[in-house]
Amino acid sequence: MYYPEPIENLIINLMKLPGIGRKTATRLAFFLLNSDESYISELSRSLTDIKDKIRLCSVCYNLTEKDPCQICSDERRDRDTLCVVEEPSHMMVIEASYPNRYRYHILHGVINPLDGIGPDDIHINELKLRIEKENIKEIIVATNPNIEGNTTAHYISEILKGSQVRITRIAFGIPIGGDIIYTDSQTIKSSIENRKDL
């Protein structure tokens, strides 16, 4: 015994979304069944719009409607520094702390040999060319503090050896407002190794 086919189809399609099982998908499907037609058509259009209207910026690989993107076209931002991030969403997190300050380079992934992702599969070569072309003075590598993020950071510093650019990495340690008692040993190690004079 199943729901009528159009409802089953919707449930099955919703179940392909991350973190959504059959129960949640069914709940969402019934919510949608009881929603206004105008909301359904808006949601449906906004889904197809992201495929039709969104592309990657040819400079920084940010998601954008216009090329170059709003950030690359923003004259207020520091022209000497680039923040290198894994994903567009990571860029947004840095923007929230430093609005309109930095320009970015979005790798769209990290080096991950186990998944068969090498340096040529992410936008690393484009980063190197860009540093030369735009005469960048510093890159702040803001990849995640895990194996893939570290590997990627090291690879970037390797291929830029001999160039004049300063390469820095964001600091890892106990988060502000965190508590030493709840901090894992890797983080403690990082915060001891990277201690600063008071």
Q: Which of 73, 92, 164, 194 binds a second copy (CB under 8 A)?
A: 92
44 touches a second copy by CB under 8 A: yes
Q: Choose one: 3-11, 124-132, 148-156, 159-167; the region binding a second copy (CB under 8 A).
A: 3-11
Reference 123, options 41, 57, 38, 52; nearest CA is 57
Q: Which residues pair with 140 in a beta bridge?
A: 83, 168
Residue closer to a second copy (CB basis): 90 or 169: 90
50 touches a second copy by CB under 8 A: yes
Residue closer to a second copy (CB basis): 27 or 79: 27
Q: Which residues pair with 139 in a beta bridge?
A: 82, 167
Please work out the total of residues on this chain that contact a second copy, with binding judged by CB under 8 A. Answer: 53
- Dihedral sign from CA coordinates of 195, 160, 103, 46: negative
CA distance 153 to 96: 23
Say if CB 128 and CB 160 are below 8 A apart: yes
6 touches a second copy by CB under 8 A: yes
97 touches a second copy by CB under 8 A: no
Provide the pairing of β-strand 103-106 with 63-64: unpaired
Which residues contact a second copy (rule: CB under 8 A)?
A: 1, 3-7, 9-10, 13-14, 16-19, 24, 26-33, 37, 39-54, 63-65, 69-70, 87-89, 92, 95-96, 99-100
